[in-house]
Amino acid sequence: MYLPKSQYKLTDMSELPGNVVALIDQAGEIVESTKKIVLTSFGTIFDTAGIDFDKGDFSKAKKLFIEKSDEDFDRGTEDNPTLSSDLNAKSLKLPPTLEDTKRGIMQRCFYYNKCTGKTAEISKIQLKNLALNKDNCTVLTKADWFIKGSAKDRTINGYFLEGLETVNNRTILQLKEIIPSIEVFLKSPLEYVEDTFIPSSTEYKTQIKDIVIPSPGKKL
């Protein structure tokens, strides 16, 4: 298996959700908490050993497994907004996978705490874990994010084609109704977008009609 650098990140265990007690290797041994790990965009965790980073070769990579806490995470109340869910919602902004790029669309997941105001972009795994222990303050949502196509609105043979800037900007506005601070994580509707050129099209420009005020007694 080969992965480009955009599909993984070298990090440490502090980047993992708060309910992860430890990582276990294939031999069942606990991985040292200070050890660097590799987190892929599809949620798999690897030891750095066996990976050829220069070539992106993961064929000999050693997968690590998560050991989670049995602690009850549904302790928070609106009177006590210091919720454990905040600890498990560390922002994890991952780029699209190769499969996402092929399809031209990815799913982005978000966490919002109505009591503390904390907002985070999270992975699909984090969203699933938080959904299992959802408290009254927690808001979880996900949205389709288009990443391949014409970036700008265009016309093709007289027909209007909506660009991804318009499509994703509409998504941002919809998410803002749920999470007021969403624009902190979605600063540009063209993030990750691969603008594909359409030879037979022209960029659509909004037409501004001049207002003509006729002189007295003159008909238009």
In sequence order, which ranges of the chain are alpha helices (DSSP H)? 84-88, 98-103, 124-132, 164-176
Residue ranges per structural domain of the chain? 1-70, 82-206
**What pLDDT digit, counting tens, does each position of 157-204 carry?**
778 888 999 999 999 999 999 998 888 888 899 999 999 866 655 665
Task: For residue 207, give both structure tokens.
Answer: 């037409």
CA 55 to chain centre: 26
**What pLDDT digit, counting tens, does each position of 54-88 carry?**
888 888 888 887 765 544 333 333 333 334 566 56
Say yes or no to pLDDT of 21 above 90: no
For 27, list phi and psi in degrees, rounded to 5.
-90, 0
pLDDT at position 177 is 93
